[in-house]
Amino acid sequence: MPVLFLAATLAALGLYWCVEMWVGSPPPALRIALLASGAALAVLVSGLSAERHRVASQTARRYIDMLCQLDASAWLSGSAGNLPDLPSSNAFRPVLTGVRQCLQQLAERVEEAEHQKTAADARVHRVALERDQLKEILSGLTDPVVAVDSYGSLILANSPATKLLHLPASAEHSALEQLDRCEELLGLLTETRKRRCNNSRTAEVKLADESGRQHWFRISCRTFADESSSQGSSRSSGKAAETLPANQGAVAVLTDITHEKAIQKRNAEFVSSVSHEMKTPLASVRAYVELLADGDAEDEATREEFLGVIHSQTERLQRLIDNLLNLSRIEAGVVEVNKAPRSLNELLEETINLLQPAAAHKRMELVTDLSPLYLGVLADRDTLLQAAINLVSNALKYTPEGGRVTVRSRLYDESVVFEVQDTGVGLTPEDKQKVFEKFYRVKKDQQMAAGTGLGLPLVKHIVEDVHGGRIEVDSEPGQGSTFRIILPGMNARDA
Amino acid sequence: MTKKILLCDDEIHILKAAEFKFSRAGYQVTCAGNGEEGWACIERELPDVVVTDCQMPRLNGLELAKRIKNHPATNQLPVIMLSAKGFELSPEQLREEYGIIRLLCKPFSPRELFTLVESLLGNAEPCVAGISTVTAVPAAVSRWL
């Protein structure tokens, strides 16, 4: 506007000068009138220009206000484009058109950024869910699992691991040295991580659980590619990731092998016991054979006695081997059975006769209280006799000298029952539950007598699986035991 | 003077076989069916040598040997062990910790046992007292310890 005012003023002056030149020396009144007209013209032109500028400015301001009132949805839906442009005469039109386009583009970019953010949030949420799921799954495992990254920081410890290794709840991302409760695990993880070997490394350790009970664990440790640290390395060096060796973390799984160890130990003890049991009758056989060979038995009676011992010990060895073979047949599920109607009382009397010498050796009473009735059973003679021998033999073994073992039989409804009652050491409720398990022997009574832990499992199998009966035991510690066999009577079965 | 031998074994036939062998050779043989019984026999009359099984009820052979070794009146008494089980301890450890001078594995030879005892006691004077009166051990025995 100042420019227009100056131009109008110069134009008025120019016009005055032209009039003055044309008229010559105009009178003062004309001169004043010309100057006043020129000034008025200059003011008018400036005023008009200023007014025009004001109107354009107001229009532009209103336009800007309209633009500012538009929300993001208007920009994104394109309705902002429906706004009418400023008049082409408006001086602000180019600028404001540029601004409008710029705002449109910004709106589009903001929308795109919001889409990306939403997608990223969704991914993060999904990853977090998956991670939580994985954590839940790992915590649901009974085996403790521990993982460390390539820098030796603990990155994973599931719930069983946290409890077993006494780790704090927020053990993750802490130093590996937190595993100080198990130095073998610490060493194995460190070694595995540093060696970068794909093969699994194992070790066995003993650790106490929360209740203080000792458990054996097998630790299996192997490496895994630690992608986070390998990506960091490639960025910092500027090389492509595939040209660098992958950094290796290590993961360890602890498997509870306490039961396996117990079985191994029991098997080893069993083999040792069997070996001992076999060598004992062999020792007698060898001793008496040697005495005979050296001519130490000078009279026939002594020779007969020695041969009798050799014979009985050979039979003893045979019984042991038979027990072992029977046991293997039990496990294989194959038993040769030859059932026929038998008298239970006859079998029991035969048992008593066989074991009377052993009872006499311990100065014990071995008495019978057999039913006067005929008690018929459909039985395999050898196996049922074996079962009766095992029960009476056990009663003699676990009853101190001077005690008593009673063998009873009776009819009970349609069943035939025989019992072996002793005045021996008795069984605790816990031992009663386990006494029919293979190889199980009551610890405190192992010194009382040798055994393999096979006798009662064999009896149970013979009674239940072969003869369809059942076996029961009543016992109190220090009060002796009564083993009861219930068999189907003959009348209850087809011969 | 008759040499005295104590035999401890819960297997009656092995006891009888060994007893037969030594009795015929003029030994005074005492038999015990378990470790406690064996110790009671030693307390009554000190033998010249003890032959014991390892696995026995009521005080096994190792415990009996240890008791013999730890008692001042019997710590020089030679102990021979018979065993059907393998041993984790070396002969040196058996000697140092339990005073067992020799281990014979079952099935053993009575002839071998007899020869061993004879060589052990061959020149030694037999013991004539019980635990309470013994103060010295025959010199010939000490060379085995």
Write the DSSP string, A54-83: HHHHHHHHHHHHHHHH--HHHHHHTGGGGS
pLDDT of residue B137: 40
Considering only the beta carbons, identify the residue of B21, B57, B84 that sits closest to A280.
B84
| Residue A396 to residue A404: CA distance in whole angstroms | 8
Contact list in A for residue B107 (CB cut-off 8 A) is 279, 282-287
With beta carbons less than 8 A apart as the criterion, state whether B32 and B8 touch.
yes
pLDDT digits (tens, 9 = 90+) for B47-95: 999 999 988 877 889 999 999 999 999 988 999 999 887 666 788 888 8
**CA-wise closest residue to A407 among A480, A319, A345, A475:** A345
Contact list in A for residue B60 (CB cut-off 8 A) is 447
Angle formed by the axes of helices B12-24 and B110-121, to 10°? 50
Q: Is A136 contained in some domain?
A: no
Considering only the beta carbons, identify the residue of B18, B57, B106 that sits closest to A448.
B57
Which helix H or strand E contains A291, and what residues bound it? helix A258-293
Both A25 and A152 in one domain: the answer is no
Site of tokens 């030679």 = B78
With beta carbons less than 8 A apart as the criterion, state whether A15 and A38 touch.
yes
Question: Using the 8-state DSSP alphabet, how is residue A444 labeled?
Answer: G
Number of H helices, E strands in chain A: 13, 13
Among A47, A69, A91, the domain-final residue is A69
Q: Nearest-CA residue of chain A relative to B106?
A: A283
**Does A283 contact B21 at a Cβ distance shorter than 8 Å?**
no
Instruction: Count the neighbouring beta carbons within 10 Å of the beta carbon of residue A481.
Output: 25
Q: pTM for the whole thing?
A: 0.53
At B46, list the tokens.
């000190």
pLDDT digits (tens, 9 = 90+) for B99-109: 999 999 889 99
Enumerate residues 6+ apart whose C-beta is below 8 A from B135: B73
**CA-wise closest residue to A176 among A249, A230, A114, A281:** A249
CATH of the domain at A365: 3.30.565.10
**Does B84 contact A275 at a Cβ distance shorter than 8 Å?**
yes
pLDDT digits (tens, 9 = 90+) for A272-296: 777 877 888 899 999 999 999 999 8
Across the A:B interface, residue pairs with CB atoms under 8 Å apart total: 68
Q: Is A212 contained in some domain?
A: yes
Both A327 and A365 in one domain: the answer is no
**Does A279 contact B107 at a Cβ distance shorter than 8 Å?**
yes
At A495, list the tokens.
């011969």
At A288, list the tokens.
């008496």
Which helix H or strand E contains B105, and what residues bound it? strand B100-105
Both A30 and A125 in one domain: the answer is no
pLDDT of residue A333: 62
Contact list in A for residue B20 (CB cut-off 8 A) is 291, 296
Mean pLDDT on B104-117: 91
**Does B11 contact A280 at a Cβ distance shorter than 8 Å?**
yes
Q: Is A210 contained in some domain?
A: yes
| Residue A319 to residue A312: CA distance in whole angstroms | 10
What chain B holds in terms of domains, given with CATH numbers, is 4-142 (3.40.50.2300)
Q: Is A201 contained in some domain?
A: yes
Both A387 and A315 in one domain: the answer is no
Both A339 and A430 in one domain: the answer is yes
Q: Give CA separation, B14 vs A124, A280, A355, B21, in Å.
A: 81, 8, 19, 11
Which 3 state secondary structure label does DSSP give B108? coil
Both A39 and A158 in one domain: the answer is no
Both A343 and A471 in one domain: the answer is yes
Q: Is the dihedral of CA A36, A41, A47, A53 positive or negative?
A: negative
Half-sphere exposure of residue A46, counting CA atoms within 13 Å on the CB side? 18
| Residue A416 to residue A376: CA distance in whole angstroms | 8
Provide the b/e sequence for A421-441 (b: ≥16 CB within 10 Å): bbbbbbbeeebbeebbebbbb
| Residue A197 to residue B53: CA distance in whole angstroms | 53
| Residue A284 to residue A317: CA distance in whole angstroms | 11
**CA-wise closest residue to A451 among B107, A332, A459:** A459
pLDDT of residue A491: 61
Considering only the beta carbons, identify the residue of B20, B86, B106 that sits closest to A283.
B106
Q: Pick out chain A residues at pLDDT < 70.
A: 1-2, 4-5, 8, 23-24, 26, 72, 75-76, 78-84, 170-178, 196-198, 227-246, 330-333, 335-336, 439, 443-444, 446-452, 491-495
Q: Nearest-CA residue of chain B relative to A357?
A: B12
**CA-wise closest residue to A259 among A215, A219, A220:** A215
Considering only the beta carbons, identify the residue of A286, A448, A450 that sits closest to B107.
A286
CATH of the domain at A302: 1.10.287.130
Provide the b/e sequence for A370-402 (b: ≥16 CB within 10 Å): bbeeebbbbbbeebbbbbbbbbbbbbbbbbeee
Considering only the beta carbons, identify the residue of A272, A284, A294 that sits closest to B11.
A284
pLDDT of residue B128: 47
**Does B110 contact A275 at a Cβ distance shorter than 8 Å?**
no
Best B13, B14, B115 member to test A by mutation, with max A CBs in 10 Å, is B13
What single letter denotes the amino acid at residue A85? Answer: D
The full 3-state SS of chain B, as one line of letters, equals CCCEEEEECCCHHHHHHHHHHHHHCCCEEEEECCHHHHHHHHHHCCCCEEEEECCCCCCCHHHHHHHHHHCCCCCCCCEEEEECCCCCCCHHHHHHHHCEEEEEECCCCHHHHHHHHHHHHCCCCCCCCCHHHCCCCCHHHHCCC
The C-alpha of B107 sits at a distance from chain A's nearest C-alpha, in angstroms, of: 4
| Residue A201 to residue A251: CA distance in whole angstroms | 11
Q: Is A135 contained in some domain?
A: no
Considering only the beta carbons, identify the residue of A276, A296, A447 that sits closest to B84.
A276
At A349, list the tokens.
């009397």
**Does B84 contact A279 at a Cβ distance shorter than 8 Å?**
yes
Residue ranges of chain B whose CB lies within 8 Å of a chain A CB: 10-14, 16-18, 20-21, 24, 55-58, 60, 82, 84-86, 106-111
**CA-wise closest residue to B85 among B110, B62, B64:** B62
The C-alpha of B133 sits at a distance from chain A's nearest C-alpha, in angstroms, of: 32
Both A370 and A427 in one domain: the answer is yes
**CA-wise closest residue to A164 among A221, A215, A218, A222:** A215
| Residue A256 to residue A205: CA distance in whole angstroms | 10
**Does B11 contact A276 at a Cβ distance shorter than 8 Å?**
no
| Residue A140 to residue A209: CA distance in whole angstroms | 17
| Residue B49 to residue B126: CA distance in whole angstroms | 10
Both A23 and A102 in one domain: the answer is no
The C-alpha of B138 sits at a distance from chain A's nearest C-alpha, in angstroms, of: 30
Both A379 and A489 in one domain: the answer is yes
A228: buried, middle or exposed (CB in 10 Å: 19+, 13-18, 0-12)? Answer: middle
Question: Using the 8-state DSSP alphabet, how is residue A472 labeled?
Answer: E
Both A206 and A300 in one domain: the answer is no
Could you give the number of structural domains in chain A?
A: 5
CA–CA–CA angle B71, B75, B77 (5° rounding): 125
Partners of A377 in the β-ladder: A342, A489
Q: Is A398 contained in some domain?
A: yes
| Residue A304 to residue A441: CA distance in whole angstroms | 37
Half-sphere exposure of residue A251, counting CA atoms within 13 Å on the CB side? 13
| Residue A117 to residue A106: CA distance in whole angstroms | 16
CATH of the domain at A152: 3.30.450.20
Residue B7: band (very low, low, confident or very high) from pLDDT cuts 50, 70, 90: very high
Which helix H or strand E contains A223, and what residues bound it? strand A214-225
Flag whether pLDDT at B138 surpasses 50.
no
Among A334, A366, A383, the domain-final residue is A334
With beta carbons less than 8 A apart as the criterion, state whether A455 and A393 touch.
yes
Is the bond leading into A281 cis (omega within 30 degrees of zero)?
A: no
pLDDT of residue A43: 80
Q: Is A369 contained in some domain?
A: yes
Number of H helices, E strands in chain B: 6, 5
Among A88, A109, A130, the domain-final residue is A130
**Does A283 contact B14 at a Cβ distance shorter than 8 Å?**
yes
Q: Give residue A280's domain range.
A: 264-334
Both A146 and A182 in one domain: the answer is yes
